[in-house]
């Protein structure tokens, strides 16, 4: 005969579960989020130099709570519902580098650090910014490659990297960003072929905006449509000028030599004629 089973413990009261859920929903995400934005700001501040004092109030005390609902007291920071969603630090003469910890501002939709003196690479960690729509890092001194990981930021509308010192190829993966409406990598040191999916977007989906040559000009070793074809032949302007000058010089030397030879020949002929003349002149007197 089976022993009678002990009665199961009574279930926890529902209100207790409810309170636990509420605490988790209200407090936990916000606490984590604040720490992420704080790490983002404090590390970015550490990696930047600020000779003009524009970031005077970017102080540790202000990082702990950078957002008060929709407002922020930090210069260049815009908030949305307690999280940083926009960083606009254009034209502030900032130096230093872009911290990879910017990727901890996970709600960021717009990152504008254009027209500064920033050097170093574009951190591939920016790929963690899954809401990023605008990336403007133009007119700095950024070097190294364009990280192909940027293609993970599926909402990217604007990639403006013009007037930097970026090198290497344009990653093919960027052609897969279907929301891209502005793409500018002009005036860098990029090389290789222009990705087909960036040059002709109808391969992805008909009606996507095209990027014309102005997006790509000013990169010595970049070639292919929509750039004019002459750059693709491996002959730089310098080589063409060199060949022109060289052949000009060669023909100058050749014609100079020819004139010299001609002069000598005619001189000799004249002398001979003169001699003959002398002789013929003298002849009758004999
Ligand atoms: C920080 O600086 C900006 C402008 O530079 C100003 O609008 C803001 O009020 C300042 N915030 C604090 C807390 O001083
Ligand atoms: C912050 O960013 C750094 C660099 O990308 C990363 O190593 C770290 O895990 C991030 N921290 C959090 C909490 O996401
Ligand atoms: C990027 O910033 C520069 C100025 O800092 C501005 O002239 C340019 O229009 C911006 N790019 C886009 C695509 O908005
Ligand atoms: C662009 O791509 C479409 C489809 O892939 C093709 O039909 C068209 O000829 C291409 N245009 C150019 C200018 O390459
Ligand atoms: C190239 O595209 C830009 C916008 O992306 C436009 O402002 C410009 O007029 C275009 N240039 C030509 C030659 O079509």
Q: Is residue 202 in contact with ligand 4, taking CB distance under 6 Å?
A: yes
Number of compact structural domains in the chain: 2
Return the closest-CA partner of residue 63 out of 85, 89, 87, 36.
Answer: 36
Residues 199 and 241 in one domain: no
Centre a 10 Å sphere on the Cβ of residue 168 and count the other Cβ atoms it contains: 14
Which of 55, 67, 75, 87 for mutating ligand 1's site (highest number of atoms within 8 Å of CB)?
A: 75
pLDDT tens, 73-122? Answer: 899 999 998 899 999 999 999 999 999 999 999 999 999 999 999 999 99
pLDDT tens, 121-138? Answer: 999 999 999 999 999 999
pLDDT tens, 90-100? Answer: 999 999 999 99
Residues 208 and 239 in one domain: no
Residue 4 lies in a domain: no
Residues 46 and 155 in one domain: yes
Give distance in angstroms: CA of 158 to centre of ligand 3: 10
Q: What is the DSSP string of 236-272?
A: -HHHHHHHHHHHHHHHHHHHHHHHHHHHHHHHHHHHH
Residue located nearest, by CA, to atom 2 of ligand 3: 114
Atom of ligand 2 nearest to the CA of 123: 5
Residue scoring higher pLDDT (43 or 32): 43
Give distance in angstroms: CA of 206 to centre of ligand 4: 10
Give distance in angstroms: CA of 143 to centre of ligand 2: 23
Domain with 22 in it: 14-223
- Per-residue confidence band for 257, with pLDDT thresholds at 50, 70 and 90: low
Residue 2 lies in a domain: no
């Amino acid at each position: 005969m089976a022993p009678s089973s002990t009665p199961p413990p009574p279930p926890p009261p529902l209100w207790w579960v409810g309170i636990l859920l509420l605490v988790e929903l209200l407090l936990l995400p916000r606490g984590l989020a604040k720490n992420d934005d704080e790490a983002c700001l404090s590390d970015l501040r550490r990696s930047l130099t600020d000779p003009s004092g524009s970031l005077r109030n970017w102080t540790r005390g202000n990082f702990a709570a950078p957002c008060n609902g929709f407002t922020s007291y930090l210069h260049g920071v815009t908030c949305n519902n307690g999280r940083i969603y926009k960083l606009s630090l254009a034209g502030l003469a900032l130096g230093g580098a872009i911290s990879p910890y910017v990727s901890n501002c996970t709600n960021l939709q717009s990152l504008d650090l254009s027209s500064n003196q920033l050097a170093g690479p574009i951190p591939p960690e920016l790929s963690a910014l899954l809401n990023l729509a605008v990336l403007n890092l133009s007119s700095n001194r950024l070097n190294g490659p364009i990280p192909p990981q940027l293609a993970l930021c599926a909402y990217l509308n604007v990639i403006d990297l013009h007037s930097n010192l970026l090198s290497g190829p344009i990653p093919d993966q960027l052609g897969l960003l279907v929301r891209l409406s502005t793409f500018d990598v002009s005036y860098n040191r990029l090389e290789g072929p222009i990705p087909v999916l960036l040059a002709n977007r109808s391969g992805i989906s008909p009606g996507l905006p095209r990027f014309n040559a102005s997006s790509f000009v000013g990169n010595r070793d970049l070639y292919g449509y929509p750039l004019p074809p002459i750059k693709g032949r491996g002959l730089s302007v310098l080589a063409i000028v060199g060949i022109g000058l060289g052949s000009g010089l060669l023909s100058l030397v050749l014609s100079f030599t020819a004139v010299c030879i001609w002069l000598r020949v005619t001189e000799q002929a004249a002398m001979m004629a003169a001699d003959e003349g002398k002789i013929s002149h003298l002849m009758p007197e004999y």
